[in-house]
Structure 1
């Protein structure tokens, strides 16, 4: 059986619940995930899949690579495909790569503004799959024990994690006042931690508190998940690590500009809220502090 979900990072986090439901329903099946090369190591750890095949989503005119992917997929002998990507590209794969195989796609019954997990719920229900975990993905399987990492960095518990960055191609998602927020939190006696990705190392150096880094200069996914899972509170942009924190059960707040709605991304949880504003630059530190004030006492 094949499941298709290319990415990005936050999208794979959001589909973890659907993968859990597919595993429970197809408990004896060999489940293979088709995703992007950047997420091979991540998804090889996922307990709901048996194997990972990568697809770089090269231009379709790259005929040699497309034929190689088609050959590899056909060699697997799949008897069913769950297309959680639901893109024009995967529609072509259905016609050109794996014709004649039963294929589950978006039912078209879910409004465009709904989160992906609601679309997955409709899609799996239509395919006869009982839905238990889809709408509440849990990625605890991703988290390493971060105790040694935090101790080595001198991080006292409890601590607050700030996620000040986003992918470099999405600078409009970055709230620009994390340095001022960190300074205010430190003045109040809170332990502040940032865990920058490869696009955010320079940004993190300007923020007071502890910066967690790994051998490559930044934490891998499993170290990051471990640090987020132990956090007393998380404040971040609309970016993969914020979605990761929400699906790990960490309490937190995400900061959104006008690019999308918090509901559409699926980040909202009973313990994880969001604030959406027309202009992130105009969102003040005082407004964010007021929003998280009820949690600060619990955070230490």
Structure 2
């Protein structure tokens, strides 16, 4: 039995999107142990993944902290990996190739890599196509990479919804985004929620720890766990049961798209929806030059066109 390392540090949406690639590697390496190297926020996600045997944590210490980098390198070298798939493809992980893995088979964009991904699969192409190209070049049959399915993340949230007074059908709104990208936030979720509620629809919001104040400005049922917010697995269960989801270009919206929920992502000029791979049979996107110019009526029209919801009274 061999030992395989997959590197995926983040971010959340990218972790969700690499699910199909993990499954393809698992099917290609049925008899090998598959280890994922990730960062602390995503450890529990990968530990639940059915295609992964073990998880190692990379604290991503500054590269000038030579003692910590030496410790990480010692841990990785001691594993004696037969193959490394670098699904992060960042300057940092390229440095890991130079420092830790020059004598190991490597699939990624590191300098000296035997697979020409830097030229053939630049980051300007769709994320899922880039992953598929990387695996294909590494000799991995590509069956699932372009079709991630993270249904295995979802917990049974019947009790959670009952306690909060949520009944089906319900619409989930995802009004937040990374604090580093406020331009990704459509500013009219409160008005959208009011209109939906006036139409007789049930609106649900499950804010993360950085979105608690934002959620309080938006009408609807708020789902709060013991710490003030529910965990990723509960949130996945909420999304899986939703009649429709509306969200910004953010990790939770990618989770909704790849868990099979019907929904709509709202994009400004910061990124092309096509590049992100968020559009699926069940999920579409609205793209505008400026999110502040996207009217509520257009979003409502898309919801009622695509969602199996009772018509407004």
Is the TM value for this pair above 0.5?
yes
In structure 2, the partner of 1:240 is 251
Write the mapping of 1:124-135 to structure 2, written as runs, cut at 5 A.
124-135=135-146
Q: What TM-score does the superposition give when structure 2 sets the normalisation length?
A: 0.93
Task: Point out where structure 1 has 5 or more consecutive residues left out of the alignment.
Answer: none
Q: Is the Cα–Cα contact under 8 Å of residues 160 and 299 in structure 1 kept in the other structure?
A: no
Q: How does 1:75-90 map to 2 (within 5 A)?
A: 75-90=78-93
CA RMSD of aligned residues (A): 1.1
The answer to whether the aligner puts 1:95 opposite 2:113 as a matched pair is no
Q: Which runs of 4+ in 1 moved over 6 A?
A: none
Report what 2:218 is aligned to: 207
Q: Deviations over 1:61-111 (max 9, x none)?
A: 011110111011111111100111111111111111122101011423135
Deviations 1:42-75 (A, max 9, x none): 1111111111111122221011110111011111
Q: Gaps (5+ residues) in structure 2?
A: 110-116
Quick one: distance in 1 between partners of 2:20 and 2:169? 29
Provide the rounded CA distance (Å) in 2 between the counterparts of 1:275 and 1:158. 23
Residue in structure 2 matching 1:274, options 260, 285, 289: 285
Aligned to 2:131: 120
**Residue 226 (structure 1) aligned with residue 237 (structure 2):** yes
Residue in 2 that maps onto 1:299: 309
**1:71 match:** 74
Native 8 Å contact 2:244 2:303 kept in 1: no
Give runs of aligned pairs for residues 148-297 of structure 1, distance below 5 A.
Answer: 148-296=159-307
Match of 2:17 among 14, 19, 34: 14
CA distance in 2, matches of 1:259, 1:55: 29
User: How far did residue 217 of structure 1 move?
Assistant: 0.7
Q: What is the aligned partner in structure 2 of residue 38 from structure 1?
A: 41
* Matched length: 299
Q: Deviation at 1:299? A: 2.3
Partners of 1:133 and 1:219 in 2: CA distance: 29
